[in-house]
A and B are shown apart, each in its own frame.
Chain A
């Protein structure tokens, strides 16, 4: 199998797996909130991991471990108490649906044909919170979050950034108030993510209980998941430059191998580990079934199989037919040039079989 679905999830880094196994063994099971010796050792591992994960964020805030980015975003949006929200039209459902639940009238920033929010997008009056993602999960476009964050602050609103797809790859959003990330999108384990909260900001919890994570997020922390996340974050930061170069090379090859396909989203303002392409008249379901050895997707994993055309591609101004003839190819650290070549050949053949 050739895995080209790096936006849905990424392979677990061997280093992260190794870091986890230590805490799944016989002496690693203690509750990190227990004051006895094994508990303190587990707590030390959690705090060490927290330092490693903090490297993904700007200085001046704290890292709160959660079960994933979805939970982190729910805490951020519900927890800050804002009633009027403005978010981009291409946010992940974890932001869009949460924002709608809080503010049924939530304002949506449109995007242009390149999939970019205007840096000077107008904020609705009385807005309390603005959320714009760093890198879009479907088309890979990098949003002008610095400008939007400044505008939010000027309007007296908080700025939240879903950095799931950019964390460990790009510089962190420097002036956000809250940033959400997910471990399994950067070669860490599933079941853990983090919310970074700027110092001085207080939030209301969603999950109450033992009062862990300074009372913001109750629930026993898993030393194994924290350690795996920490190792994955540290690795991503140390390999950032080489991972980036590798991805650029794969992108150039794959893009050149698929002439006649149209790129969805900006060519320049993007994370190049995401290649979202369309071809008029393409039957994506048939293509996927013909390319059974390649794991790729026609949109986000969560919305896959729903049959709905992607809200992101629609926001770009694509017709339903264009949106339905689009595929997403995602690759990264562990993808090889050989795999990329083989996948491109299979996709070309499958499209040709459709007379395209």
Chain B
């Protein structure tokens, strides 16, 4: 990012300074494609929310179906689009995605970590003449990019800066342009420091995910042993997110106790934290004890010591 602050000229300016910024921007775009293994197009946006709004509102096909466990960034655009049925783990069935329209299903759920079978869903949608938009905010930079037609991602969810994201599009023909920067698909001066920060975060190695998986498994088994419950543990989850129920303790009471002990966890997504609304995700999967569930997420910096401290506090709060 600091390199980006030094290259502060407007990348659309044709003078030398502008061309340097443009070259850095285009180089970063190529590096992002390489890091993600994506051979389609990359449109930089300010966030995943904006990428999703762009993908949904400018897609040549209308939004026809969404999963009910999507982030609000998708659901709030969904209007009367079909809500796809999900099982008790929150999984969507491929057969239900055979729709001639845009289908939006996330890669990994932001509250439970559950991973959707995106490849199968996308191929069902394509066979029916539809397209699949995958919200990969929680999976990008951690999991292999799924084979979707459009993908939304957010840098700050994989160690990059807040304020930058991208919409990946397999083919320009899937979107109607609006004019402006980003080949006419997104107006606004490009945020080069943000883009460079995003690339750098994507290019770091992913070995820490194995540690995160180990730590997550340790939390799973310890909490289960202490009488708690690890939600949706029966299916593949992104190693960085898990949801735990502490019987008899409201999520809010848990949050206050954890916060006082210097542990930052949350009840549902950050955006709706503090709203005291029941999680729409847990409601959609029919989980009966939604009010007693907290979300615990791990990252590359999370250590075994921190996990042990969390478990000790969990035992204390549950007591």
Contacts and interface: CB of A to CB of B under 8 A. Distances in A.
Interface string B165-201: 0000000000000111100000111111110000000
A219 B72 CA distance: 10
B46 interface: yes
Nearest to A293: B16
Nearest to B75: A208
B141 to A, nearest CB: 15
A212 B161 CA distance: 18
Nearest to A206: B53
A1 B16 CA distance: 9
A218 B270 CA distance: 12
A70 interface: yes
Nearest to A42: B162
Interface in B250-289: 255, 258-259, 262-266, 269-274
B13 A297 contact: yes
A297 B18 CA distance: 10
Interface in A191-242: 191-192, 206-212, 218-225
B159 to A, nearest CB: 9
Contacts of B191: 67, 189-191
A220 B162 CA distance: 7
Nearest to A20: B5
Contacts of A1: 16-17
A67 B163 contact: yes
A295 B9 CA distance: 9
A294 B180 CA distance: 25
Interface in A295-345: 295-298, 301-302, 304-305
A222 B49 contact: no
A38 B266 CA distance: 12
A67 B189 CA distance: 9
* Max chain B Cβ within 10 angstroms of own Cβ: one of A10, A190, A206, A301: A190
A84 to B, nearest CB: 21
A292 B180 CA distance: 26
B274 to A, nearest CB: 5
B285 to A, nearest CB: 20
B72 A210 contact: yes
* Max chain B Cβ within 10 angstroms of own Cβ: one of A29, A69, A294: A29
A3 interface: yes
B193 A190 contact: yes
A189 B193 contact: yes
A208 B162 CA distance: 17
Interface of B: 1, 5, 8-10, 12-18, 45-50, 52-53, 57, 71-77, 154, 156, 161-164, 178-181, 187-194, 255, 258-259, 262-266, 269-274
Interface of A: 1, 3, 5, 8-12, 17, 24, 29-31, 33-39, 66-71, 74, 93-94, 97, 101, 182, 184, 189-192, 206-212, 218-225, 288, 292-298, 301-302, 304-305
30 contacts: A3-B9, A3-B17, A9-B189, A11-B8, A30-B264, A31-B270, A35-B255, A35-B273, A35-B274, A36-B258, A67-B47, A67-B50, A67-B188, A71-B188, A97-B178, A97-B179, A190-B190, A190-B192, A191-B193, A191-B194, A209-B71, A209-B73, A211-B72, A219-B46, A222-B156, A223-B162, A288-B15, A295-B13, A301-B13, A304-B13
Given A1-B16, A34-B270, A302-B180, 9 more contacts: A9-B13, A36-B265, A184-B189, A207-B47, A208-B73, A211-B72, A219-B50, A223-B162, A225-B162
